[in-house]
Amino acid sequence: MTLFEPIHVGTYQLQHRVVHAPLTRLRNTEETNIPTDLVVEYYSQRATPGGLIIGEGSAISNKAGGYSRGPGLFTEDQLEGWRKVTQAVHEKGGVIFSQMWHGSRAGSSLFIKDNQLPIAPSPIPITSSKNFMVNEPYEAPHEASHNDIKDLVQQYVEAAKNAITAGFDGVAIHGANGYLIQQFIASSSNKRTDDYGGTISNQAVTNAIGPERTGIRFSPWADEMSYETYSYILEHLNPKLAYVHFVEPHDDALREVPDLVNPLDPFRKIWQDRPFISAGGYSTQPELMADVAKNTGNLIAVGRAYLANPDLVERLKYGWPLNKYE
């Protein structure tokens, strides 16, 4: 396999395996969270024929605790803003999925309807750092009741439907980076002893828009890592999902020494020959892109290098040098 061999993802035939990773850009309107013309330009610049873009995390509702200038998927004005984005990507022949996001305890009451406390599996605040959105300690979240969890599932369902209405080709469930889904997975943030002492099922979303238009993203090394836990999750996911997306700990913006010890291979083995997206470290070690694609058949998600190189796919294809990310 090579980076430039076609691959079938969901209902789409991609022409290459370089994926635009979801990246928080904060170029939307401040109070109404509507994508602006800058957002349209950004995605249009990076769209390629038969290439997959995974959009930035978009709040699933006004209860999700989104960022200032972060986009949403819950008002008609927001959806109209996204329609301009998806149309621009489709005009370039690209495919674009919307990443559905809920901040949970990583959010802030300042960005939640009626300034309610963030909701989480357990009432445990993040204590390892300050909330960078407001430069204050994280709030102790409200523990979700059973009715709250049912409401959360419905918020995902409505956001998924809204994404399709806005022209997205599918949705990516954000199950990574310490946000809501990962908080249900991690024992450090989920101390529940009821039926929700584990992850929320993605079945509701796949029922709403179809598994072939649904992907999911995990970052096992963002919290306590357990091959057993994530293997169990993979084994119980809908096998018809468009893809699964795992962040590998090769390198990231905060890692001083690359982690070359902990591979994604056990997860790749479970998912077999279905579409599997690898991410992590490819901007600082671009030579890994071709090697991993060749050895695994994976799609490769790239973030920082895509910021600095809107024409990244063409540069990789022809061996042209990359602009350095700063």
- Which residue in 12, 42, 43, 179 is the catalytic one? 179
Q: How far apart are CA 2 and CA 255, in angstroms?
A: 28
Query: What is the rounded CA–CA span in Å between residue 208 and residue 185?
Result: 23
Residues paired with residue 276 on neighbouring β-strands, in sequence order: 244
Among 181, 167, 268, which Cα is nearest to 216's?
A: 181
Structure tokens at 40: 């349209």
Among the listed residues 244, 125, 249, 228, the one whose alpha carbon sits nearest the alpha carbon of residue 183: 125
User: For residue 206, what is the enclosing H or E element?
Assistant: helix 203-209
Give the integer Cα–Cα distance in Å for 95 and 18.
12
Phi/psi at 208 (5° precision):
-75, -40
Q: Which residues contact 267 (CB under 8 A, 6 or more apart)?
A: 230, 231, 234, 244, 246, 276
Q: Specify whether 179 is catalytic.
A: yes
Query: d(Cα 44, Cα 76) in Å, to the nearest integer?
Result: 22
- In sequence order, the 6+-apart residues with CB closer than 8 A to the CB of 278 are 246, 248, 264, 292, 296, 298, 299, 300, 301
Residues that are catalytic: 179
